[in-house]
Chain A
Amino acid sequence: MSEPPCFARSRSRSPDGAQRNPGGLASGWTFPGLRFAPSRLRGAAMTEVSLHRGISMQRIGAMILRYWYLLMSSWPRLLELLYWPALQVITWGFLQLYIAQNANFFARAGGTLIGAVILWDILFRGQLGFSISFLEEMWARNLGNLMMSPLKPIEFLLSLMVMSLIRLAIGVIPMTLLALFLFHFNVYALGLPLIAFFCNLIFTSWSVGIFVSGLVLRNGLGAESIVWTLMFAIMPLACIYYPVSVLPAWLQYVAWALPPTYVFEGMRALLIENTFRTDLMLDALAINAGLLIASFGAFLALLRSARKHGSLLSSGE
């Protein structure tokens, strides 16, 4: 009985008909959109179908391993992941304490400032975690090696997303514990809404990360400063520390085009009015879906442009 096309087994036959297994390439089972290569199934060359359409978990894993080695090879970089979030939460935590003692509103709405700081850090560090892993390839002049390997752009981006989560966890989890022990603000007490806030913020951070990585890919390290600064352009419009109503009417339209605005408004509604605004989260999710698709499209267009202009060979400034 023939195998269904969606579970076709890899064949070890090359296009010229010769039986070969170059480099002992592992085989795998494929189905549309994904390709898994469990070790017990290795032995034959990858099919063209899997190479063209599939996503290899092994290649994504290889890239995550590469960034993990990198992270563990430098304790100053590891320390830096903890340092800035801790500094942020301590500074803003004391400020919140001071204001709460002197203003009735903040005494009622305990945690809005420190909560905003933690959520902003998820957004900002999420993007940095993504982009710094990408920049590591530029700094190491390793991009040519990766582009010449079977690694696909989507696999590369997926590995950067996973790394942004790992880097974020290293930086933000200790930050939330500091907020709990020093200022008695338990971000985890937000419960399920925290998951909605987190997902929306991380999706936005990935969109920005994908887009700026594309810019660096196309323009070289001369565009590196965009990686560090673009998120700050969003900061005043995302209404992190104040409600959208503070902005002029025309600027509110711009603010509502940014998913983080919905998250910070949602956080304030939760902390001040004890209301979880599902509508805000769904709106943010819809915009995020659009942003992710657009940023991926932009990344592919910038990659193509980099190939056209030879930027992949000269990835310096």
Chain B
Amino acid sequence: MTENDKASSRPTVADRSSLAAIEVDHLVKFYKQTRAVDDISFSLPRGSITGLLGGNGAGKTTTIAMIMGLVLPTSGRVRVLGHRMPEESAAVLGRMNFESPYVDMPMRLTVRQNLTVFGKLYAVKNLSDRIAKLADDLDLTDFIDRANGKLSAGQKTRVALAKALINQPELLLLDEPTASLDPDTADWVRAHMERYRKENNATILLASHNMLEVERLCDRIIIMKRGRIEDDDAPEAIMARYNRTTLEEVFLDVARGRVNGVRQEAAR
């Protein structure tokens, strides 16, 4: 094989872009003088589940919002499913979806009405069948004709998840998806997300404060602090590097600034 052949067999920039579900390149976001996101880069392969960890104000939500195109970066680049965001957002918005505590579903519409409206916005085929399947999968049947405002916090979270899955997205962005759920329902939702990823080869980016959730679901973890990436690896590798047995301990080390000491201790 000649050098030229080898060169041509290597993935080009365009190939890598098409393989990655999300590519973030030197992303920076300033809100006036506040540096919310500070020069972060990462690439998520298709079919992966990645956890975005960090304390309040670490920059997780801003990062996710820039990936979605809801917030414009100050500098840097985001590509989603091979398309530049937000310039080419029209080409990918129908193939992704999200759930966030910063948005709600309209309160006076019933669950079925809400899902119908979003299903039509995403041009979902056989919409009533899709809604019936989601209602069955996410256990919405008992309250599907009840106004969203009259649901419990846990029921609302399940409805929001149903909305996020209405178009069977290739890319799912979840911000605190199990925040207000009881342990049993949260576990059940996590199982559903795992199953969804396997069945659809979907990519999931998950921002969470629930370390057990991240440990169970994610095959990779990005830890953020003050807008920067502190660590980025598989959960087991990160725990080994910090000489810890749980991600919660790692999180506390990072949050309390014990990173260097712990790493040196682990290295010894």
CB-CB < 8 A to A16: which residues of B?
18-19, 81-82
Inter-chain CA distance A147–B86, complex, in Å, is 11
Q: Does B237 contact A (CB under 8 A)?
A: no
- Bound-state Cα–Cα, A307 to B106, Å: 22
Closest to A56 in B: B123
What 0/1 pattern do residues 92 to 125 of B give for CB contact below 8 A with A? 0111111010111111111001001110111111
- A294 on interface, CB distance cutoff 8 Å: no
Q: Contact flags (1/0) for A46-73 with B, using CB distance below 8 Å?
A: 1010011000101101110110011001
Q: What is the total number of residues of chain B having a CB less than 8 Å from a CB of chain A? A: 52
Question: Which B residues are CB-close (under 8 A) to A304?
Answer: 72
B206 at the binding interface (Cβ < 8 Å): no
A interface bracket (residues with beta carbon within 8 Å of B):
35 or more
Asked if B120 and A59 sit within 8 Å, CB to CB, the answer is yes
Identify which of B96, B102, B117 contacts A62 (C-beta below 8 A): B117
Nearest chain A CB to B140 CB, angstrom units? 17
Identify the closest chain A residue to B123 (Cβ). A26
B179 is an interface residue with CB less than 8 A from chain A? no
Q: From residue A309, how far is it (CB to closest CB) to chain B in Å?
A: 7
The answer to whether A15 and B82 have CB atoms under 8 Å apart is yes
Residues of A within 8 A of B110 (CB): 69
B71 at the interface (CB under 8 A from A): yes
Residues of A contacting B93 in the complex (Cβ-Cβ under 8 angstroms): 148-150
The reply on A292 being an interface residue by CB < 8 A is no
Query: Are A65's CB and B65's CB within 8 A?
Result: no
Q: How far is the CA of A314 from the CA of B101 in the complex (A)?
A: 11
Within 8 A of B (CB), among A128-142: 136, 140-142
Contact with B along A184-206 (1 / 0, CB 8 A): 00000000000000000000000
What residues on B are CB-neighbors of A61 within 8 Å?
120
Shortest distance between the CB of A162 and any CB in chain B (Å) = 15
Q: In the complex the two chains form, what is the Cα distance from A160 to B108 in whole Å?
A: 18
B81 touches A24 (CB 8 A): no
CB-CB under 8 A from B162, the residues of chain A are none
Chain B nearest CB, measured from A51 CB (Å): 4
- Given known A-B contacts A142-B105, A149-B122, A73 and B147 have beta carbons under 8 A apart: yes
Question: Given that A24-B168, A52-B91 are contacting pairs, would A314 and B123 also be in contact in the complex, using a CB cutoff of 8 Å?
Answer: no
Among A23, A42, A313, max chain B CB count under 10 A is at: A23
List chain B residues, Cβ under 8 A from A22: 94-95, 167-170
Report yes or no: B124 in contact with A25, Cβ–Cβ below 8 A. Answer: yes
- Residues of B contacting A15 with CB < 8 Å? 18, 81-83, 91
Whether, in the assembled complex, B35 has its beta carbon less than 8 Å from a beta carbon of chain A, the answer is no
In the assembled complex, the Cα of A153 lies from the Cα of B156 at a distance in Å of 27
A315 to B117, CA, bound (A): 21
Bound Cα distance A52, B86 (Å):
12
Known: A48-B91, A309-B31, A310-B65. A24 touches B163 (CB 8 A): no
Measured CA separation A164–B72 after assembly (Å): 31
A-B contact pairs, 24 of them (CB 8 A): A14-B95, A15-B81, A15-B82, A15-B83, A15-B91, A22-B94, A22-B170, A23-B166, A23-B168, A25-B125, A26-B124, A46-B123, A51-B91, A58-B120, A61-B120, A66-B109, A69-B110, A140-B106, A141-B102, A144-B70, A310-B70, A312-B71, A313-B100, A314-B102
Residues in chain A within 8 A of chain B (CB atoms): 14-17, 20-26, 37, 42-43, 45-46, 48, 51-52, 56, 58-59, 61-63, 65-66, 69-70, 73-74, 136, 140-152, 304, 307-310, 312-314
